[in-house]
Amino acid sequence: MNNILVFPMVLPIIAGVLLLFFRSNPKVQRWGSILTMVVVFLISLWILEKVMDEGILRLDFGEWAPPFGITFVADAFAMLLVTTSSLVTILCLLYAAFAKDEKREKFFLYPFLLLLIAGVNGAFLTGDLFNLFVCFEVMLLASYVLMTLGGEKKQLTEGIKYILINILSSWFFLLGIAYLYGTLGTLNMAHLSQRIAEVGQPPLLTTISILFLIVFSLKAGLVLYFWLPGSYEALPTAISALFAALLTKVGVYALFRSFTLLFYHEPSITHTIIGVMAMITMIGGSIGAIAYKDVRKIVAYNVIIAIGFILVGLASNNVESIQGSIYYLVHDILVKGLLFLMVGTVIYLTGKTRFDQVSGLITNYPLFGWIFLITLLSLGGIPPFSGFAGKLLIGKGALVAGEYVMVAVAFLSSLFVLYSLLRIFLNMFWGETSILKKNQIYLSKGMLASCLILAMLTIGLGLGMSVVSPYVAEAANVLTNPNLYIEGALNND
């Protein structure tokens, strides 16, 4: 019994509800939510350490032993993601606290942000498929509200599309759960894994696995990403950064969990499909990233490319590539948050959304400009920064698996990432300044600070590889040996 496991999910909910009572006091809202997330971050760091010492931890809700009750299972993979996402949330909240969007703050911006985090953390931690659905829904409901908060026309019309797509994908999720329960009679993930291994994944189960593939692809933006650019574009900066950092990653997490723990017996079918989907995603994302001049569209397509890249690791399906994917996932959560904060800030400072309308920002905001350079180098996977190790390991793993085409597409897509962002950098930051010194909008230190901290983190993650590598190795170890997870999630002692 490890009651501590429930805190990353419950603390944000409690804090969010308490903040509802302080509607008229934005200071309490801002700092209260940041304080909560700091506590959640410290707790999840502590759990991560404990997982490293004692192996997989489990909490049975209401003391119902598995496989009957709902369980939270914390392995290194889940905890790594919980810790990283809490960290990014702190910084996005910090940004929001200084952006002072009072119209939205009055309408419960922070409570819903906290609810979103509760859903995300719950989805990472849960060991039960139906509970995963519930956590997805908590997260999605919060995201619907955040999506439409403020009620601008564009937000509303994009919100309708976003909600409709997600209602459909939730429907498919329930369909998959119903079929799986009908065939296997259980929904506990470890128990499911055991039963699937017993029958050796016949074609019926493989078909059901494709259903789950569709659901999680919709959430992750794998091939089915048509909804993503439009909806991310309509959001205010801090929220869009959180969405880009977390929402798609939860889908990626679910893909990894289900295709390493449950449906891993027919890799020639499922993992091949994932590989093809990853390639299509990267190609489509690359085309999108260079097709537009609107910076928000470009960065939204960058999210999509990264999803494809991470899934290459899953498609190759060996220890090295999965390690690479975990590195890249952690890196991507941090750096996509940073990228969206940067781009949102650029739009806030200039009021323009197309990169050919502004130039020479680096003379107005030198530090800000250099942070942007770091961001784009990190995204491109240039060595001292955090993207490098993940890219290297995914590439190596895919080569070992003999997926040469996939490797080629993956690294070409990295070039497109670099090119599309370099275009923004060269046009917007380089060249003659288009804003006179006296006209420039003051960039508050708090907003700059959250970008700076994230940029430091990506450098730190790149240089401090050796600190993170034991955690990643342990996470990949559990993912590639489902028996470890089953042992941890089902043993009754």
Partner 1 sequence: MRENDIILQTVSKVAVFIILTFGVYLFLSGHHNPGGGFIGGLTLSSAFVLLYIAFDVESVNAGIPLNYKMVAAVGVLIAICTGMGSLLFGSAFLSQSSAYFNLPVFGKTGFATVTLFESGVALGVVGVVITIMVSISEDV
Partner 2 sequence: METIITLLIGVLVSVATYLLLSKNVIRVVLGSAILSHAIHLLLITMGGLKKGGVPILGGKVETYVDALPQALILTAIVISFAVTAFFLVLMYRTYQSVGTDNLHEMRGTNDE
Among partner 1, partner 2, none, partner that 141 touches (CB below 5 to 8 angstroms by kind): partner 2
Tokens, residue 389:
């190790």
Nearest alpha carbon to residue 125 among 28, 30, 9, 23: 9
Query: DSSP assignment, residue 441?
Result: P
Among partner 1, partner 2, none, partner that 63 touches (CB below 5 to 8 angstroms by kind): partner 1
CB of 387 to partner 1, least distance (A): 38
Contacting residues for 295 by C-beta, under 8 A, at least 6 apart: 343, 346, 347, 353, 354, 355, 424, 428
* Runs of H (alpha helix) within 149-292: 153-184, 189-199, 203-220, 228-233, 237-242, 248-257, 270-291
d(CA 332, CA 461): 11
Residue appearing with tokens 């600190």: 467
Residue number, 10 or 165, with CB nearest to partner 1: 10
Q: Return the residue of 178, 204, 463, 473 that touches partner 2, per CB under 8 A.
A: 178
- Is 163 among the residues that bind partner 2 (CB under 8 A)? yes
Residue number, 8 or 387, with CB nearest to partner 1: 8
Residues between 59 and 118 that touch partner 1 (CB under 8 A): 59-63
Angle at CA of residue 222, ends 259 and 328, nearest 5° = 70
- Is 21 among the residues that bind partner 1 (CB under 8 A)? yes
Residues between 90 and 149 that touch partner 2 (CB under 8 A): 130, 134, 137, 140-141, 144-145, 148
Residue number, 13 or 262, with CB nearest to partner 1: 13
Residue number, 178 or 463, with CB nearest to partner 2: 178
Among partner 2, partner 1, none, partner that 473 touches (CB below 5 to 8 angstroms by kind): none
Tokens, residue 48:
């991560």
Contacting residues for 74 by C-beta, under 8 A, at least 6 apart: 2, 5, 47, 51, 56, 57, 58, 82, 125
Q: Which amino acid is at 42?
A: L
- Is 179 among the residues that bind partner 2 (CB under 8 A)? yes
- Is 158 among the residues that bind partner 2 (CB under 8 A)? yes
Residue number, 168 or 441, with CB nearest to partner 2: 168
CB of 114 to partner 2, least distance (A): 17
CB of 120 to partner 1, least distance (A): 17
Residue appearing with tokens 């809202």: 29
- Is 13 among the residues that bind partner 1 (CB under 8 A)? yes
Tokens, residue 265:
């017996």
Tokens, residue 93:
């909240």
Footprint of partner 1 on this chain (CB under 8 A)?
Answer: 1, 3, 6, 10, 13-14, 17-18, 20-21, 59-63
Interaction site with partner 2 (CB under 8 A): 130, 134, 137, 140-141, 144-145, 148, 151, 153-154, 156-160, 163-164, 167-168, 170-171, 174-175, 177-179, 181-182, 187
